[in-house]
């Protein structure tokens, strides 16, 4: 309950907006093929330490995916590959004839220059990126069906999991300056500037999301009173949730961690709204014309709804103030990239999959908010993207991860309200 830290909107406002408007639309969208398959490399070595034994817990395995639509893989007709990843070029049709359209560029530039543009574009895109993205062309990168591999309890625990979280918080989050111990105390984050607080809040919100999902889809058949079955019985474990978020059991930290979840929700929703002119012009190409048309329409409707939210996160107040701010932004980006690399050290494939997806989604949101490509008024953005089709790019993987990562937070907000209406007591901020 109450106002979300470093934002101007309340948990209650966001819950009701989410449950009435956002969750139903996004939930339906994420069932479509475009958003369902995500290409990821789960075989990369951990770049930071060597001794991480991959866990052999049964519930950590990720089912391979065999029937990805050809349009998504880019193996349909010769032009499919291009279509599957490119922006739909509304402004560059032959009869629009403006100075700035791509048709003009195509007739005046040699193929060599266009290739050159594309190389710059790839370079620019890497510079803008907040994540070390997987190389999709690597033989180790494979499509995963997210619906068949839901995020849930896996049993991943103990030193390996703790090492990841510790390394993220202690070595990559910014620490309050007063903290002298190697284990930073984040209870005094008010001493840090907004940008550094935002970094911590976003990570902490994502951590809350992971731990809520494992509590909401817990392996109940291991508990007394449930019959063991081969597939397991999965469901809500309220005690697990309370252990992690109850104020008394967490020294008051639990409710603050829940609020950070709402913070990261707002941050990603703002990124989606800001990137709307770009996203509204994507093909969402899978090779199935009817489905692609439905998805484009549903994405448009979803983006219109979130654009109408009155209390968006205000990223304009971050990284303002000349050289100092620009140095801080570089540092922020480097720290976040490091977190994305740490995901390759997660010792459980299922956790690694969803950890990578959610970090990529959050990194994509940061790229949208802070790359400077969306800072013009929306009516001028379309022209810019048409011309710079080769400059600012979001890959299919980035778009899919952003929508799915946001979907995680939307389903929690919906789930919490669902339980609340059924009388389950929820921890509140003291």
| Residues with catalytic roles | 348, 351
Q: What DSSP letter does each residue of 4-63 carry, written as one string?
A: PTTSSSBHHHHHHHIIIIIHHHHHHHTTSHHHHEEEEE--PPPSS-S--PPP--GGG---
Q: Write the CB contacts of 236 (distance below 8 Å, at least 6 apart in sequence).
A: 215, 216, 217, 218, 419
| Residue 289: CB minimum distance to ligand FAD, A | 36
Distance CA 364, CA 337 (A): 11
Distance CA 143, CA 137 (A): 12
Q: Which of residues 253-292 bind ligand FAD (CB under 6 A)?
A: 257
Spatial contact of 355 and 343, defined as CB atoms under 8 Å apart: yes
Instruction: For ligand FAD, give the closer residue by CB, 210 or 238.
Output: 210
250 is in an annotated binding site: no
Instruction: For ligand FAD, give the closer residue by CB, 160 or 286.
Output: 160
**Binding string, residues 92-131; x marks residues near ligand FAD by CB under 6 A:** ----------------------------------------
| Residue 107: CB minimum distance to ligand FAD, A | 49
Instruction: For ligand FAD, give the closer residue by CB, 34 or 186.
Output: 186
| Residue 364: CB minimum distance to ligand FAD, A | 17
Spatial contact of 168 and 342, defined as CB atoms under 8 Å apart: yes
Q: How far is residue 57 CA from its own chain's centroid?
A: 26
Q: Does 355 bind ligand FAD (CB under 6 A)?
A: yes
In the set 351, 362, 366, 369, which binds ligand FAD (CB under 6 A)?
351
207 is in an annotated binding site: yes
Instruction: For ligand FAD, give the closer residue by CB, 69 or 355.
Output: 355
**What is the phi/psi pair of residue 65, to 5°?**
-110, 130
317 is in an annotated binding site: no
Instruction: For ligand FAD, give the closer residue by CB, 161 or 382.
Output: 161
204 is in an annotated binding site: yes
| Residue 189: CB minimum distance to ligand FAD, A | 10
Spatial contact of 329 and 198, defined as CB atoms under 8 Å apart: no
**Binding string, residues 18-57; x marks residues near ligand FAD by CB under 6 A:** ----------------------------------------
61 is in an annotated binding site: no
Size of the residue set binding ligand FAD (CB under 6 A)? 21
Distance CA 246, CA 1 (A): 14
Place of tokens 């999965």: 234
| Residue 357: CB minimum distance to ligand FAD, A | 10
Which DSSP category does 235 fall into? E
Q: Where does this chain touch ligand FAD (CB under 6 A) — which range of 41-49, 273-281, 307-315, 343-351?
A: 343-351
Q: Which residues pair with 3 in a beta bridge?
A: 10
Q: Where does this chain touch ligand FAD (CB under 6 A) — which range of 35-43, 98-106, 290-298, 349-357?
A: 349-357
Spatial contact of 391 and 128, defined as CB atoms under 8 Å apart: no
Which DSSP category does 169 fall into? I
Q: Which of residues 141-160 bind ligand FAD (CB under 6 A)?
A: 151, 153-154, 156-157
- Crossing angle of helices 253-274/194-216, nearest 10°? 110
Helix (H, G, I), strand (E, B) or coil at 308: coil
Distance CA 374, CA 276 (A): 9
Q: What is the 3-state secondary structure (H, E, C) of 88-156?
A: CCHHHCHHHCCCCCHHHHHHHCCHHHHHHHHHHHHHHHHHHCCCCCCCCCCCCEEEEECCCCCCCCCCC
| Residue 144: CB minimum distance to ligand FAD, A | 14
25 is in an annotated binding site: no
| Residue 164: CB minimum distance to ligand FAD, A | 4
Instruction: For ligand FAD, give the closer residue by CB, 96 or 238.
Output: 238
| Residue 202: CB minimum distance to ligand FAD, A | 10
Quote the tokens at residue 103: 């048709």
Instruction: For ligand FAD, give the closer residue by CB, 25 or 259.
Output: 259
Instruction: For ligand FAD, give the closer residue by CB, 206 or 276.
Output: 206
Q: Which of residues 156-215 bind ligand FAD (CB under 6 A)?
A: 156-157, 161-162, 164-165, 204, 207-208, 210-211, 214
Binding positions for FAD are 152, 154, 165, 204, 207, 244
Binding site for ligand FAD (CB under 6 A): 151, 153-154, 156-157, 161-162, 164-165, 204, 207-208, 210-211, 214, 257, 346, 350-351, 354-355
């Amino acid at each position: 309950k109450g106002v979300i830290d470093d934002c101007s909107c309340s948990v209650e406002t966001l819950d009701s907006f989410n449950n009435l408007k956002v969750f139903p639309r996004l939930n339906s969208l994420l069932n479509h093929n475009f958003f369902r398959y995500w290409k990821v490399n789960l075989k990369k070595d951990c770049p930071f330490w060597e001794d991480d034994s991959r866990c052999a817990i049964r519930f950590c395995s990720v089912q391979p995916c065999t029937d990805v639509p050809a349009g998504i893989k880019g193996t349909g007709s010769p032009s499919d590959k291009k279509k599957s990843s490119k922006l739909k070029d509304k402004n560059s049709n032959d009869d629009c004839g403006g100075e700035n359209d791509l048709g003009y560029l195509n007739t005046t530039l040699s193929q060599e220059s266009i290739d050159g543009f594309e190389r710059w574009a790839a370079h620019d895109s890497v510079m803008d990126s907040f994540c070390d993205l997987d190389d999709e062309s690597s033989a180790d990168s494979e499509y995963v069906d997210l619906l068949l591999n839901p995020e849930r309890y896996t049993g991943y625990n103990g030193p390996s999991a703790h090492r990841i979280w510790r390394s993220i918080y202690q070595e990559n989050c910014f620490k309050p300056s007063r903290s002298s111990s190697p284990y930073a105390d984040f209870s005094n984050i008010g001493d840090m500037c907004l940008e550094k607080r935002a970094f911590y809040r976003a990570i902490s919100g994502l951590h809350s999301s992971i731990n809520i999902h494992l509590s909401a889809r817990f392996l109940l058949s291991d508990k007394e009173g449930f019959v063991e079955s081969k597939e397991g019985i999965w469901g809500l474990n309220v005690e697990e949730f309370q252990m992690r978020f109850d104020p008394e059991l967490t020294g008051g930290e639990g409710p603050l961690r829940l609020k950070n979840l709402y913070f990261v929700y707002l941050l990603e929703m703002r990124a989606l709204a800001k990137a709307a002119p770009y996203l509204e012009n994507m093909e969402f190409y899978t090779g199935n014309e009817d489905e692609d048309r439905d998805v484009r329409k549903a994405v448009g409707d979803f983006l219109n709804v979130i654009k109408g939210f009155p209390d968006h996160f205000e990223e304009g107040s971050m990284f303002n103030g000349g050289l100092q701010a620009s140095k801080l932004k570089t540092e922020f980006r480097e720290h976040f990239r490091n977190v994305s690399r740490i995901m390759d050290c997660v010792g459980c494939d299922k956790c690694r999959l969803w950890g990578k997806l959610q970090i990529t989604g959050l990194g994509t949101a940061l790229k949208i908010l802070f790359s400077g490509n969306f800072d013009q008024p929306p009516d001028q953005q379309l022209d810019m993207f048409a011309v710079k089709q080769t400059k600012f790019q979001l890959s299919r993987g980035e778009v899919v991860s952003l929508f799915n990562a946001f979907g995680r937070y939307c389903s929690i907000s919906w789930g919490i309200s669902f339980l609340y209406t059924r009388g389950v007591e929820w921890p509140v901020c003291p």
